[in-house]
Amino acid sequence: MGDTHAADSVDPGAKGSETEKDPNKSLARIERQDQMTGPFGQDEQSILLRDIMNLETRIELLRRDYEMMTEALEDENQDITTEEPEAEKPASPWHKRATLKVARVLTGRPERKPTKFEPTHLTRKEKKQIATAAMDVQQQIEKLMAERDEKMAKLDTETRDEHEAKSNVVNIRDFVAKRSGRVLALAEQGAKAKVDPVQELELRGMTYDGRPIYEQKTASEYELSVEQTELLKNLEKQYSTMHDTLKIYHISTVGIPAWEQVKKGLTPEVLDKALKLQEPALLLVPPTTRKSKVEAINKHPAKGQKSDTYTYELNNNDLWNGGKSQSENKWRVSIVEGIQDVQQDKEINDGKRTNYEMSKLWVKKYENQGLDVMNDADAYLTLMMKGLAEGKPIDPQTWCVLNGKNLTKSTLVALGAWSDGQVYLSDGYPDRSYSYLHLRGSVEVNVHNP
């Protein structure tokens, strides 16, 4: 009648052992019982041994968390000597072994999968929080170790020696002891490591095992370097200057971000990027149209201004708005290159390359430094107003490209300049070569609404 399973061929009412009914099932059950109760059955020694093994399992799981956290700090410590992050740098052991729990410590996103967690560097705040979490895990390990040792002492000598020979706890104890003294030192030393200019980690509230350990701080509460502190003070002065400039040109400041809001976006990473600019200039770009900005410049001529602004197809968004169909209806805050004339790069402006080639090389140059570029007329006109109000109109000797990121070999080059007492928003051909062509670096400042 066909093959039947062993269990199906046994009479449920038949007498005999379970091994006789289903040998495989019975042997598996007996093996599991041996693993749970040990060779001594259900006596006191077996119960102690089972509890010890459970404690050791918990210790091992915590050890894995501790190892990953300390590896994160170890990796960052090694990166300190790296001048610039390598574009094709292989993933470190930290990234390969990151788990959901430890990723949550860094990102505050428990729903996020570890495979999507890919920052290459940690911020100084994150290093401290990883060290804090690692020390907490270490304390939990030590507590469980003490509980285990207390139970081990109650075992008879033969059972204790036999289990100790098989246990990995000695190695775990040595592992924790070797790393514990370095965790905080690595965190402090790692704070000097360079931050990845491309993937800047956003500061978020987060918890580890249900306990809040991460609070967002304003720029003034960070541990800033001397250079960062000086720049922050300078930017605060420039904030007032921007207010004065907008008043000169009768531009409404309704909705303008307060200094405290701006300061929250001035993280150490943003300040580090801004320090790469020759003359960092704080820019608050109002949500008015390009046309209204041009009209403001024309209606309130500055000293030395002889003519109204020259414009070419001002409504062309491909030229003057970075290729975007419309401008954002909100205030934008950034730190841009504010020097009057950007110094020419002889390797780029070699007299042989086309405007298109030079523009793309300028974009790449800034990107390699972790910087963005000014890529629209609204920001340029705002910076020009600031320069005119201070008696230093920008680009009197050079041309500034304003669509370098979206420029193609077949589209016109958007150019800004000041020449002979007049502001220019002009155009150029991509296949021509203008020797005094450049772009301006830019760093976005994320403004947090109160």
Q: Which pLDDT tens digit goes with each residue over 361-390?
A: 999 999 999 999 999 999 999 999 999 999
Examine the domain organization and report whether 138 and 252 are in the same domain.
Answer: no
Q: What is the b/e burial string over 310-320, where b = at least 16 CB atoms within 10 angstroms of the residue's CB?
A: ebeeeeebbbb
- pTM for the model stands at 0.55
HEC string of 150-186 equals HHHCCCCHHHHHHHHHHCCHHHHHHHHHHHHCCHHHH
Q: Which pLDDT tens digit goes with each residue over 232-269?
A: 999 999 999 999 999 999 999 999 999 999 999 999 99
Tell me whether residue 209 is in a domain.
yes
| Residue 194 token pair | 């360079």
Q: What percent of the chain has pLDDT over 90?
A: 47
Examine the domain organization and report whether 211 and 247 are in the same domain.
Answer: no
Residue 212 parent element (H or E)? strand 211-214
pLDDT of residue 74: 62
Q: Please spell the DSSP secondary structure of 380-441, one letter per residue.
A: HHHHHHHHHHTT--S-SSSEEES-TTT--TTSPEEEEEE-SS-EEEEEE-TTS--TTEE--E
Please identify, among 216, 245, 276, the residue that sits at the C-terminal boundary of a domain: 216
Tell me whether residue 207 is in a domain.
yes
Q: Please spell the DSSP secondary structure of 338-355, one letter per residue.
A: --SSPPP-TTT--SSS-H
Given a contact cutoff of 8 angstroms between Cβ atoms, the answer to whether 100 and 65 are in contact is no
Q: For the purposes of burial, counting CB atoms within 10 Å of the CB of 346, is it exposed (0-12), middle (13-18) or buried (19 or more)?
A: exposed
**Average pLDDT of the segment spanning 349-355:** 94
Q: How many residues does the chain have?
A: 450
Examine the domain organization and report whether 191 and 248 are in the same domain.
Answer: no
Q: Categorize the per-residue pLDDT at 121 as very low, low, confident or very high, splitting at 50, 70 and 90.
A: low
Examine the domain organization and report whether 429 and 293 are in the same domain.
Answer: yes
pLDDT of residue 1: 42
Domain that holds residue 66: 44-216
pLDDT of residue 169: 80
pLDDT of residue 60: 85
Give the chain's domain count: 2
Rounded to the nearest integer, the mean pLDDT of the chain is 76
Please identify, among 177, 192, 216, the residue that sits at the C-terminal boundary of a domain: 216
Examine the domain organization and report whether 168 and 279 are in the same domain.
Answer: no
Tell me whether residue 221 is in a domain.
no
Examine the domain organization and report whether 252 and 292 are in the same domain.
Answer: yes
Examine the domain organization and report whether 267 and 415 are in the same domain.
Answer: yes
H-type alpha helices, 153-285: 157-166, 169-180, 183-190, 226-248, 259-264, 268-274
Q: Which of residues 379 and 63 earns the better pLDDT score?
A: 379
Examine the domain organization and report whether 270 and 394 are in the same domain.
Answer: yes
Examine the domain organization and report whether 274 and 294 are in the same domain.
Answer: yes
Q: Which of residues 156 and 300 earns the better pLDDT score?
A: 300
Tell me whether residue 21 is in a domain.
no
Examine the domain organization and report whether 263 and 351 are in the same domain.
Answer: yes
Cα 261 from Cα 449, distance rounded (Å): 7
Please identify, among 216, 237, 270, the residue that sits at the C-terminal boundary of a domain: 216
Rounded (to 5) percent helix, strand, coil in the chain: 50, 10, 40
Tell me whether residue 202 is in a domain.
yes
Q: Which of residues 63 and 436 earns the better pLDDT score?
A: 436
Examine the domain organization and report whether 119 and 53 are in the same domain.
Answer: yes
Asked if residue 120 has pLDDT above 50, the reply is no
Q: Categorize the per-residue pLDDT at 281 as very low, low, confident or very high, splitting at 50, 70 and 90.
A: very high
Cα 115 from Cα 99, distance rounded (Å): 9
Tell me whether residue 347 is in a domain.
yes
Examine the domain organization and report whether 206 and 251 are in the same domain.
Answer: no
Cα 314 from Cα 310, distance rounded (Å): 10
Cα 66 from Cα 326, distance rounded (Å): 50
Asked if residue 111 has pLDDT above 60, the reply is no
Q: Which pLDDT tens digit goes with each residue over 195-234?
A: 333 333 333 333 333 333 333 445 555 678 899 999 999 9
Tell me whether residue 307 is in a domain.
yes
Tell me whether residue 12 is in a domain.
no
